[in-house]
Structure 1
Amino acid sequence: MEATLVTSLDEVVDNVKQFNQDLQDGLDVITQLSMFKHWYYIPNIDMFGPSKYIGYKNMNTLKYDRGKAKTGVDTEKVLKRWFKDLSNGSDVEKEFKIQLIELLETYDMRLRSNACIHLPKQFTV
């Protein structure tokens, strides 16, 4: 069964909440945290989620299935509708990376060195 891309920001937010719940529940997605490159931050819930997980409708760790038959290329295209990249090396990017690094460290995982942070387009810093 082919995964369907999200069509609204509300679906993305729901997936970010589910991703963080899956982390808290100790599910298998924890073992993949260091593999994710593109991370998306939702300010009003203060949570991050990776593109390849949050870019598909009604996602959860079981459906994610370690990323099988899913591509970050497709999710990046759709998520650009609502999000912007942070400038590489900016103070704001550094602040968000520190926050994300701390999150991953709680699961004994590391952020990839080339990780990118994305914020909602309407978010101002």
Structure 2
Amino acid sequence: MKIVRGDIMEETELVTSIDEVIINVKQFNKDLEEGTNLVSQLTMFKQWYYISSLGMFGPSKYIGYKNMNTLRYNRGKGKTGIDTEKVLTKWFIKLPTSSKDENMYMNKLIGLINSYDKNVRSNSCIHILK
């Protein structure tokens, strides 16, 4: 997928390995800690992916593209969660709504999002590694 930003054409590719996903999850959390404009977008994310070995979440639309960071994310312009969700199913499973595990991870996500004075979107979903 190509994204036009001003006069710059940038290629945006989907991740092809779990290692790329892990790098993106770490970057997403680093960007949050640094107070980037991602904080203001936290209520927009619906599909959340959790990596227990990191103890970190990341939204599909951010972690599903290669080499992501706040600037490249650009408030999600030119990106679609539909494409990222398809590729992320290689490594993750969606937890059933209101299951014991989903409730446990949702509470962790709520804690994270609330720490930035934001609320989790009411229809958010949690995915964990297979």
Larger Rg: 2
1:104 is displaced (CA, Å) by 0.3
Aligned to 2:24: 15
Instruction: Give the RMSD, CA atoms, in angstroms.
Output: 0.5
* 1:39 matched to 2:82: no
In the alignment, which of 38, 47, 62 is matched to residue 53 of structure 1?
Answer: 62
Runs of 4+ in 1 over 3 A off after TM superposition: none
Structure (1 or 2) with the greater strand fraction: 2
1:4-45 CA-to-partner distances (Å, cap 9, x unmatched) read 100000000000000000000000011000000000000111
Q: Find 1:63's aligned residue among 72, 79, 84.
A: 72
Q: TM-score, normalised by structure 1?
A: 0.96
- After the TM superposition, which residues 73-112 of structure 1 pair with which residues of structure 2 at under 5 Å, given as runs? 73-112=82-121
In the superposition, the TM-score normalised over structure 2's length comes to 0.92
Alignment gaps of 5+ in structure 1: none
Q: Provide Cα deviations, 1:46-83, integer angstroms capped at 9, x if missing partner.
A: 00000000000000000000000000000000000000
Deviations along 1:95-122, whole A, 9 cap, x unmatched? 100000000011011101100000001x
Q: Report the number of matched residues.
A: 121
SS of the residue 2:109 aligns to: helix
Alpha-carbon distance in structure 1 between the residues aligned to 2:86 and 2:56 = 21
State how far apart, in whole Å, the 1-side matches of 2:77 and 2:126 are: 23
Deviation, structure 1 residue 3: 1.1
CA shift at 1:2, angstroms?
A: 3.1
Q: Distance in 2 between matches of 1:92 and 1:120?
A: 13
Structure 2 residues without counterparts, runs of 5 or longer: 1-9
Task: Report if aligned partners of 1:2, 1:69 keep a CA contact under 8 Å in 2.
Answer: no
